[in-house]
Amino acid sequence: MQSHTPKKIKLAADNNSVAVEWSDGHQSLYPYKFLREKCPCATCTDAHGTGAPRTNVVVESPLPMLQKPLRPEKAELVGRYAVQINWSDGHSTGIYSFDYLRGLCPCPECSKR
């Protein structure tokens, strides 16, 4: 399996997405909600070790005045292999390895694979 390394990671508030420029020139754009729902932490995935994502992990308040827009508040590199995102919903335990993140790329080219 090829190892992927980002050149740049940008929390792009202007389009509600995390933008990643990869070392091979590929560009990925991850909508906030999509990326949050794909969180790989133990709380957000199947506890039996299959890694299968649970459904409906992003909970929004039914009262519009209590809804806080979902967005990353902070992102930090974890060694040379991952990024950890602190989300506005209080979740911060997900560590997205670069290979996992690249595999999630929702662009049309990657979606064909």
Structure tokens at 78: 């974890």
CA distance 50 to 18: 26
Asked if residue 35 lies in contact with residue 85, where contact means CB atoms within 8 angstroms, the answer is: yes
Residuewise pLDDT in 10s, the chain (113 residues) = 467 899 999 998 788 999 999 999 999 999 999 999 999 998 888 755 555 555 544 555 555 556 678 999 999 999 999 999 999 999 999 999 999 999 999 999 998 87
CA distance 15 to 95: 23
Domain ranges of the chain: 6-111
Structure tokens at 95: 């560590």
Give the closest residue to 69 by CA, choosing from 51, 87, 44.
87
* Fold category of 6-111 in CATH: NE0471 N-terminal domain-like (3.30.2020)
* Beta carbons within 8 Å of 60's beta carbon, 6+ residues apart: 67, 70
Q: What pTM was estimated for this model as a whole? A: 0.80
